[in-house]
Structure 1
């Protein structure tokens, strides 16, 4: 029998994403797990009022389709991969330093700043860097000026939670926007329906396309592989921008306490293949929203040519609310934004790998190894029929890498032997890429098993 939907049941089932929506009272706070993720602490067996309806992974909560139908009832375009929307674009910000200052085309910071400039909001809750002295490099905070918004630009693949900013929004009157990944945006939407104050004050939601969330151990891995003391790290740049190189050539950079910097391209890292799932949060295995289907507007990277080769960065944007549709259209007409309209197929192509993982892969995981203790309910039905063995093993490999990377990194940390993790990660990545790219003995063996001709070159 499944347990009652309490914070403890969600945590034990591996469904807690650490959003902090349930930790905004004296009974519950947020804490770090031993694997560098966020989770609630305190009275976990007593569910806060409405918890089963506000936790984004609760089976009793409304799904993304239901939320979007209520929020965007008149959206003219409806696509099962992208959700409901008014218009979609590809391009970048043409004015100011937004494009140069962001990881991609600068649209996230531009929209947040424009909402502030035009008086639509009084503050925007988003992730910004800290001084890193306590090993925590990013936190949610509320920006009330364009300069503060700019300081929070760029990608942040680090665990954060909303608990503190939700408390501030409750304490300080005003209108607020929140920037977040799909599950966080869903959590805020669910909370707005249960908490009248949050419902009144959170007026805009800006979503970020998401492949999965990483643990804080990802930074430890950078430090181990760059051969710097992890306790000396004060700042992390996951995607250092270089206009002379393609946008999808990621470079990690660490800044140390003495000001020195160390960097390395992701493809030279033992765990540098994002799709392999190193340090992925468990709840990400059970998510079916890639493109923030419940946000007023959602942003991603244009991971298709010719845009992915443009080192200056290019966004895709899916506009769902009529208000932001008109805001964007006006800025395009004024030459402030350089955007071209695209259709849902284009958006889906830029996120093809993520959509496979959250559709076909999720269906397989639900049939193969569903969460225990919570009767999870998703928009994707459990299924493994018609899936070739190679694809099944790819999904199993990702699942195993996500799970064991936390454990092996923990062992490396406790024993003081980083090579334990780095060696394991290199072997795991070779196996995974053998399945994906038909490489090495593993790939050739499965080619023969499935009757696939040998690959030339």
Structure 2
């Protein structure tokens, strides 16, 4: 196969199922008409002139985060944080790690988790270290397939705080990167791992971005969802997506465990619809409904190229604390000093933790991106093959564990197609019945891999 070092085209990356829709390829105004738009499955993809989509470029091959020719997270992190005292195979290079929350004001109450992402960005503003924050904000009321959220730049703390909370929705950053290029200043960029990696790769090629992107704030990530998740929630809550004005994926209730997600839709007529995720046909995150194909070939859970990264502390007693709790991984010396001062002044309620603690908070994600990824790489038979930091081999797993990984892939692929068919036929039940049946099989298999499965495997003399 032709080496990607000789150049790649956006079309090749899309065809290989490796495009995450970040928009890095459409930024910069290098090609008139280059843009990012939704495909028929509600996933963002590059669009524009055929000549651009099919043109092989060495620059694109170096800057697309999914390109086999791009530098990987280990190489980027070594460039960025050469003096970081710790290097972990799962969370990358880092200076310190913490668990806790923002104690100052209502940062914790206003966020999905412990409020640390917004607190950190606001503190950078207060100190005059940045002029703006590029992050995901609610978008104007949608019509048709217009987005509920978009990347934008906040230049005040009030603007920043209005954009707090988690957004499980596809977004792209071509517009906000162009705004950073047009407007002098220093910026912080907030994003999931592949987006932060894209920013780092673009900064290596673009001196303007390199000068202006002063900080990167990463978000731990399980996978990216398509726009169909919101449409499915609307169907299941007795409405249509065209009637929805605003979406809150994680309505917060301090009286309930943090991992009991509640979807909240505000409709244009002023009414509201709420439902706990576990009552929804596709509400089990780990099953992979509406997952982007590219996420099956990602090996970065904790945004290893970000100056600081934030996740949810999914271990007890934190996962039962409805106020929300963050796990934080710090790589930048400047941000390490800011957090240390915040702790000393009582504005942050953070306790130091080690890499093993961080592993435990994201155990399922690391299994999916390590042993699961090895299995998927070994079975890949078509198109461009990504270069990953795990070997392409079939690891020694029980048949149940292999089946869980294979079923996740099947559910992710099937959810796009079945939902599309249900839309065309105007028959929501086609999708919801399929989803409930698929979820029942998945949960039964995942459960059997647990305690009962381990007992059976011991009896069979196999490794659980």
Secondary structure of the residue aligned to 1:353 is helix
Q: What residue in structure 1 maps to residue 212 of structure 2?
A: 201
Please state if 1:265 is matched with 2:276. yes
- Superposition map of 1:373-384 within 5 A: 373-384=383-394
Q: What residue in structure 2 maps to residue 168 of structure 1?
A: 179
Offset of 1:444 from its aligned partner? 8.4
Offset of 1:449 from its aligned partner? 8.6
Provide the rounded CA distance (Å) in 1 between the counterparts of 2:235 and 2:385: 39
Secondary structure of the residue aligned to 1:50 is helix
Q: What's the CA shift string for 1:130-184, capped at 9, x where partnerless?
A: 1223241100000000011111100000000010000101101110110000000
Please state if 1:332 is matched with 2:335. no
Offset of 1:10 from its aligned partner? 0.1
Q: What residue in structure 2 maps to residue 98 of structure 1?
A: 107
Q: Is the 8 A contact 2:299 2:389 kept in 1?
A: yes
The equivalent position to 1:417 in structure 2, one of 424, 427, 438, is 427
Q: What residue in structure 2 maps to residue 61 of structure 1?
A: 70
Q: Is the 8 A contact 2:400 2:448 kept in 1?
A: no
Q: What residue in structure 1 maps to residue 407 of structure 2?
A: 397
- Superposition map of 1:147-166 within 5 A: 147-166=158-177
Q: What residue in structure 1 maps to residue 329 of structure 2?
A: 318
Runs of 4+ aligned residues of structure 1 deviating over 6 Å after TM superposition are 443-450
Provide the rounded CA distance (Å) in 2 between the counterparts of 1:94 and 1:428: 42
Q: What residue in structure 2 maps to residue 408 of structure 1?
A: 418
The equivalent position to 2:97 in structure 1, one of 59, 79, 88, is 88
The equivalent position to 2:436 in structure 1, one of 426, 434, 439, is 426
Please state if 1:6 is matched with 2:17. no
Provide the rounded CA distance (Å) in 1 between the counterparts of 2:383 and 2:214: 35
Provide the rounded CA distance (Å) in 1 between the counterparts of 2:240 and 2:15: 33
- List gaps (5 residues or longer) in structure 1: none
- List gaps (5 residues or longer) in structure 2: none
The equivalent position to 1:387 in structure 2, one of 397, 403, 406, is 397
Q: Could you state the TM-score of these two structures normalised by the residue count of structure 1?
A: 0.95
Q: What residue in structure 2 maps to residue 34 of structure 1?
A: 40
Q: What residue in structure 2 maps to residue 346 of structure 1?
A: 357
- Superposition map of 1:15-34 within 5 A: 15-24=18-27, 25=29, 26-34=32-40
Offset of 1:49 from its aligned partner? 5.7
Q: Could you state the TM-score of these two structures normalised by the residue count of structure 2?
A: 0.94
Secondary structure of the residue aligned to 2:150 is strand
Offset of 1:368 from its aligned partner? 1.4
RMSD: 1.8
Q: What's the CA shift string for 1:285-304, capped at 9, x where partnerless?
A: 00000000000000000000
Q: Is the 8 A contact 2:374 2:395 kept in 1?
A: no
Secondary structure of the residue aligned to 2:54 is coil
- Superposition map of 1:91-130 within 5 A: 91-130=100-139
